[in-house]
């Protein structure tokens, strides 16, 4: 099937509405019982995550009957849902609040995002910033752009390639298996600056807008990376697994590196791993 520009705009409208109705009214108003730890104290879920996911899935089911819904919180309860990504004609991968720890900590660095997967391939993406009320959007083969609340758009383009010592990047090194978890931070002084926003969606937005030279991730949950990889790629960037293969939302290997071009990808990978 073809996911059209009109379909894309409908998806963006649903995410914006979820942010307005479910996410922002609860921001900085959560009680102690509204926040729960999942696998560890920094992996949390809130009442807002669950409410936003229910709203998004219900609206998408009405707009796109028969589509598969792969939401982060639903997969937490039923991991077998991930199999639908490779089986479905049309699937939506949904992160109701990316950067939940920031959200629960009253820090306005979070996003509401979704990717459209058609027969296993990412076809479209939206990463919405509820506080700025704008959406970074990408449609396969049609580029990436920022859509503002007033209806204006501006094209997104990754940063030009620069020397390693001038690179500014984001790295989620703590999610790599050992020994990389211990060795990666020791390589960071080779770059100008390496940080983390604890929100993949906001990091992908910055990188697609040319504000970062690289992104490095360990755990590759599809709701965290399917939207961002398409956004970054359509903005002209080079996103590959650490073994050089293209990213696929149907696989969950460890290690993804995004850089402006293939030459800088090889340079950054060598600096980090060799």
Q: List the chain domain ranges.
A: 5-155, 164-273
Which secondary-structure segment (H or E) carries 134? Answer: strand 134-139
Q: What pLDDT, in 10s, does the model give residues 255-273? A: 999 999 999 999 999 999 9
Please report the DSSP string for 64-105 in residue order.
Answer: STT-EEEEHHHHHH-GGGGGHHHH-SEEEEEEEEESHHHHHT
What are the structure tokens assigned to 206, written together?
């910055």
Q: What is the pLDDT of residues 57-116, one digit of tens each?
A: 999 999 999 999 999 999 999 999 999 998 899 999 999 999 999 999 999 999 999 999
Would you say 117 and 91 are in contact if contact means Cβ atoms under 8 Å apart? yes
Query: CATH for 5-155, among 3.40.50.300, 3.30.540.10, 3.30.70.120, 3.30.565.10?
Result: 3.30.540.10
Contacts of 164 (CB under 8 A, 6+ apart): 190, 191, 267, 268, 271
Question: How does pLDDT run along the chain (274 residues), one tens digit per residue?
Answer: 889 999 999 999 999 999 999 999 999 999 988 999 888 888 899 999 999 999 999 999 999 999 999 999 999 999 999 999 988 999 999 999 999 999 999 999 999 999 999 999 999 999 999 999 999 999 999 999 999 988 899 999 999 999 999 999 999 999 999 999 999 999 999 999 999 999 999 999 999 999 999 999 999 999 999 999 999 999 999 999 999 999 999 988 879 999 999 999 999 999 999 9
Q: Into which CATH architecture does domain 164-273 fall?
A: 3-Layer(aba) Sandwich (3.40)
């Amino acid at each position: 099937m073809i996911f059209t520009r009109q379909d894309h705009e409908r998806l963006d409208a649903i995410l914006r509405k979820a942010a307005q109705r479910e996410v922002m009214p609860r921001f900085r108003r959560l009680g102690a019982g509204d926040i729960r730890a999942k696998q560890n104290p920094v992996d949390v879920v809130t009442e807002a995550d669950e409410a936003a996911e229910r709203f998004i899935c219900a609206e998408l089911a009405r707009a796109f009957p028969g589509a598969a819904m792969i939401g982060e919180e639903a997969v937490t309860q039923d991991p077998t849902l991930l199999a639908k990504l490779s089986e479905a004609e049309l699937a939506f991968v949904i992160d109701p609040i990316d950067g939940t720890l920031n959200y629960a900590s009253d820090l306005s660095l979070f996003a509401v995002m979704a990717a459209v997967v058609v027969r296993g391939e990412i076809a479209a993406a939206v990463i919405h910033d509820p506080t700025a009320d704008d959406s970074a959007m990408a449609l396969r083969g049609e580029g990436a752009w920022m859509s503002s609340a007033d209806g204006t758009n501006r094209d997104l383009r990754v940063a030009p390639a620069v020397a390693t010592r001038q690179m500014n990047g984001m790295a989620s090194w703590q999610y790599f298996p050992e020994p990389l978890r211990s060795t990666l931070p020791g390589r960071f002084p080779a770059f100008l600056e390496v940080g983390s926003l604890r929100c993949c969606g906001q990091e992908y937005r910055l990188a697609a807008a040319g504000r970062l030279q690289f992104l490095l991730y360990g755990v590759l949950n599809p709701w965290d990376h399917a939207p961002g990889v398409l956004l970054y790629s359509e903005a002209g960037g080079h996103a590959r697994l650490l073994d050089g293969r293209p990213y696929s939302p149907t696989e969950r290997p460890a290690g993804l590196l995004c850089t402006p071009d293939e030459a800088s990808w090889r340079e950054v990978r060598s600096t980090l791993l060799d």
